[in-house]
Amino acid sequence: MILSRMVCFFCLLAVLLFPLFALADKPASPAATAFSDSLTSPAFTKIAEIVQTPGAFFDRYVSVKATYQGWNNAPGAPPVTRSDWVIQSPGGASIYCTGMYPENLRPDDRNASGRAITVLGKVKLTSDGRPYLMVSEVLPLQPAFERMVSVSQVLFDPLGMQGRVIGLLGVLAKGYGPRGNRIYLLADPTGAITLERLPKLYPKGTILRIRGTVSTDENGLPVVKNVEIVSAKP
């Protein structure tokens, strides 16, 4: 009696579990596979990967996160028109973009250089195999919070910090550049860095907390662009 009940129990258990094993052995549908891949694949493609293996990306849509360079740091001649513009990754790789312009950013505006943006575009190749992006969409990249750093962190790693939005706390100083032009610096106990432009003039010695984008000047020295004043204390 007990044996017959055990046999019936295991038979019922086998009937209930069989569909689960069958589903486990069944190959995933293409839609499910695509969904799984979308969860594990990175959202943004590195510019360096496109530049190094352009054939692998030809005629594919990619999203890249970079800094707007206008006509600076150009990788050769413009591929389509003289109005083509350049984006650059924090690691230094750059690529041309053609078509749609970023809103409120002009290639000839030096103050626009260094703004963080995202670009959606199709990879195209020039006749000599150089890649560029046919832009479909370009948007400003606005981080939720800036990272507070010391001046020395920027000075010692300008390439690694380039294009990042950072926060700095220091004392405003003034000086003169190589051409005799007036420059503004922010100094903290670790060093001093040039501020490209201030939205408002403050007296020397003002304690400023600022937000800005790390970039470089025409001599390759680190500067902070797109400066926003978070707080000021005389």
Q: Answer positive or negative: Cα dihedral of 105, 107, 110, 113.
A: positive
Same structural domain, 185 and 107: no
pLDDT at 101: 81
Name the 3-class secondary structure at 198: coil
pLDDT at 199: 78
pLDDT at 55: 94
The count of structural domains within the chain is 2
Q: What whole-number distance in Å separates Cα of residue 145 and Cα of residue 163?
A: 15
Residue that finishes a domain, picked among 90, 111, 140: 140
Mean pLDDT of the chain: 79
Q: Looking at the domain assignment, is residue 113 inside a domain? A: yes
Same structural domain, 136 and 54: yes
Q: Looking at the domain assignment, is residue 1 inside a domain? A: no
Q: What is the pLDDT of residues 26-62, one digit of tens each?
A: 444 433 333 333 333 358 899 999 999 999 999 999 9
pLDDT score of 107 more than 90: no
Q: Looking at the domain assignment, is residue 10 inside a domain? A: no
Instruction: Give the angle 114-120-124 at the CA atoms, nearest 5°.
Output: 100
pLDDT at 146: 65
Q: What is the CATH number of the domain that holds 77?
A: 2.40.50.200
Q: What is the pLDDT of residues 199-222, one digit of tens each?
A: 788 899 999 999 888 998 888 889
Copy the structure tokens of residue 116. 């963080």
Task: Say which amino acid occupies 28.
Answer: A
- Given pLDDT bands bounded at 50, 70 and 90, which one contains residue 160? confident
Q: Looking at the domain assignment, is residue 177 inside a domain? A: yes
Per the model's pLDDT, the better-predicted residue between 21 and 2 turns out to be 2
Same structural domain, 72 and 54: yes
Q: What whole-number distance in Å separates Cα of residue 167 and Cα of residue 152?
A: 13
12-21, 93-102, 198-207, range with the lowest pLDDT: 12-21
Contact 206, 172 (CB under 8 A): yes
pLDDT score of 76 more than 70: yes
Q: What is the CATH number of the domain that holds 165?
A: 2.40.50.140
Same structural domain, 129 and 152: no
Q: Is 195 exposed, middle or buried (0-12, 13-18, 19+ CB in 10 A)?
A: buried
Q: Which of 192, 214, 205 is nearest to 233 (CA)?
A: 205
Domain membership of residue 93 as a residue range: 47-140
21-25, 50-54, 66-70, range with the lowest pLDDT: 21-25
Q: What whole-number distance in Å separates Cα of residue 214 and Cα of residue 53?
A: 28
Q: What whole-number distance in Å separates Cα of residue 154 and Cα of residue 139?
A: 26
As a whole number, mean pLDDT of residues 149-167 equals 90
